[in-house]
Every structure is written in structure tokens, then in C-alpha cells.
Structure 1
Amino acid sequence: MNFKLYDILSSLVPGFLLLLVILEFFNLSFDNKLVVPYTAIAFLFGYLVNTISSWLEDIYFFTWKGKPSDCLLNGKDIWKVRFYESQKANELLKAETTKSDPTNDELFSIAMRYANQKDSRVEDFNSSYAFSRSLLTCVLIGGIFLLIRNYNDLKFYLLIIPAIIIVWLRCKQRGYYFSREVLLVYLKNKNS
């Protein structure tokens, strides 16, 4: 089994954050003598957060007004993430399918086949997006726990709501960066 740094951090960071929130929620103190068991528990919590974040992805797409790949293929981009070659990418991708009216999901999966190469940055962009999605889910879950525990304390609302908005926006941007990179690698391969 070959673990990468991403595999460990993507579970430990959200897992430890959630562990700290749960300790706070149940009014338990952090015991320094239990660092090793806490690490194992945090890894498990992070693994669960990764799973839940995958399940929530369609809800995130709804709040973003569409999948990043669909939006980019339809010529819609967002602030900070521009894609100027959507028409060209669409034409080339449609030429590779036998369907008369392929979905954007099918077109994007064709582009992914070209983008999954050893020297491509697509895997890094995908990992970054998945990590951002896990952090968003962690902030949502942790925020709910903290707001339930401190429902009458304004400072928690002033901290948690902006944190959710910031992490939500960053996750959306990471999704667009990943989708754009896949399409750019596809275009680069088709043009060479």
C-alpha cells in the first residue's frame, strides 16, 4: 500500500478539527497522554468526513449553480477561474463521441481520459479539490456542533458563518480549477 502525503493529511486535518469540536461539544478536555489514540480517532473521523463530503457533492453543486465541469463546458466561468476555450473544447469532445447529443458529463469523462497522465497536474488539482470539499464538510459539521452547544453566544455565529462562506467559496474555486485543468490538458493533447 502506497500512501501519499495527501492521503494522510486529507484525513488527519479534518479529523483532528472534528475531534476538537467533539471534545468541546461534550465538554471534555484534551489529554496529552492520549495523542496516539487521538490520532487514530482523528484519522477515522477524517475518513468519515471524506465519505460524507463525497455524498454531499451534489448539494454543493446545487449551491454553486452547477457542476464546475458543466459550467465551463457551457461557457460559464467564475471570478478568478476563467476558461476561454469552451467552444473549441466542446467541438473537439463532441467529435469523439458517437452520440448526437452527448451530456457534459460524457464530454468531461472523455477529457479525463486524456488528462490522466503521469506528467499532468490534474491529480494535484483533483486532490486539492477533494481536500477543500472535505474541509467544507468538516466546517459545516463542526459549525453545527458548535452552534448547538453555544446557540446564544453571538461570537460563535460571527466566527462560524464567515468561515463557512470562505471555505465554501474556496471549495467552489478548487472545483473550477480542477475542471479547467482537465480541459486545458485535453486541449493541449489534441493540439500537439
Structure 2
Amino acid sequence: MSVPPDTSSTAPSVDNTAQAARRRWLYGAVAGAAALGGAGLAWWRLQPHAQQEGAEAALWGMEFDTPAGGAPLVMKALQGQPVLLNFWATWCPPCVDELPMLNTFYRENAPKGWQVVGLAIDQPSAVRKFLGRLPLDFPVGLAGMGGTELGRSLGNLTGGLPFTVVLGQGGNVLHRKMGQVTAQDLQQWARLR
């Protein structure tokens, strides 16, 4: 009489081991593809995109109220000079972090013809309160939600902050940056005209 083989063994069969290995490989491949997709999306979101036709001309025709009131900030008055245009808000930590550096850039480069303009995408009362604690030497315009639309027209499709645009003496966009400005950025931009 023959005894049937013992199938209650705890050792996995070759088929189960191969299936488990395929599942691990498939999960790894899916996770890798998801990570690459997420990294690609993040990279895309942080890149300035094509600006709308006529965005530069529209910018030079704009005027913004100022936190102190009085005369508005007239962009046309700055045309013909290199301009660093920074979109920021009081509730944006990287914006707040870069403002002292932008102020230093302004003080050092204003004698060379540079202008720096901060466009606050924020409530006027919040901007006034903030500037009471951290005064800036460069002009600040109260852009409100219209500033978000202006940023989009200049290539900031996501409306993220901070967003910086460098305009040359001819009024054209020379450079755009999503995210916080670095000292290296400012050094490179100071050479642009």
C-alpha cells in the first residue's frame, strides 16, 4: 500500500514562491511609476510656463494701490529699467523669508538702475500690519486676487507663491522663477539688463 504525499508541509510550493515574487515586482514597478509620476508633476508645477500673449504690455499698463495709500504704484513709471517683480503674501513662509534678501538686493542695485517691486497677493490690512513689523525699501503694490491672474498671464499657471519675474530694460521678461529666490539667483539676475 502506498502512502499519499504529505501536503501539509509549511514549505511554499514553487508556484506560490514565483507568484509572490511577481507580485512584489509588480508592486515595486507600480510604486516606482507612481513616484516618477509624482516627481514629474511636482517638477511641472514648479516650472514657469509660457506666458500669455500681451502679458508684458498689460503689466506695464497697470497701477496698484500702495499700503500707505496716496499715489498708486504706476508700472509704466518703471519701464526702461531692469525690474525684479516679486509676487508674495504675508501668509507664505518662503515669501516672508526671501523679503529681507530682496530688500538687500534693492539697496545694493538701485544705484545701478534696478527696481524691485513686491506685489502682495493679500488683504491690504494684513500687508500694512506686516510692513509695520518688517519695513521694505522697495515699492509694494496691493495686487489682491488680480495679482494671481497677472501671475498666471506671466506663466505661473498654478498661482503658487513666491513667484518672481525679472524684466529687462526693454520691458521684456528675461527670467521667471517659481519658489523661493536664492542668493545665487540674485547674483545671476544682477548681471541681466
Task: Tell me which interval the TM-score lies in, with the shorter structure as reference length.
Answer: under 0.3
TM-score, normalized by length of structure 2? 0.24
Normalised by the length of structure 1, the TM-score is 0.24
Greater length-normalized contact order (CA 8 Å, ≥ 6 residues apart)? 1
Higher strand share: 2
Which structure's CA Rg is the greater one? 2
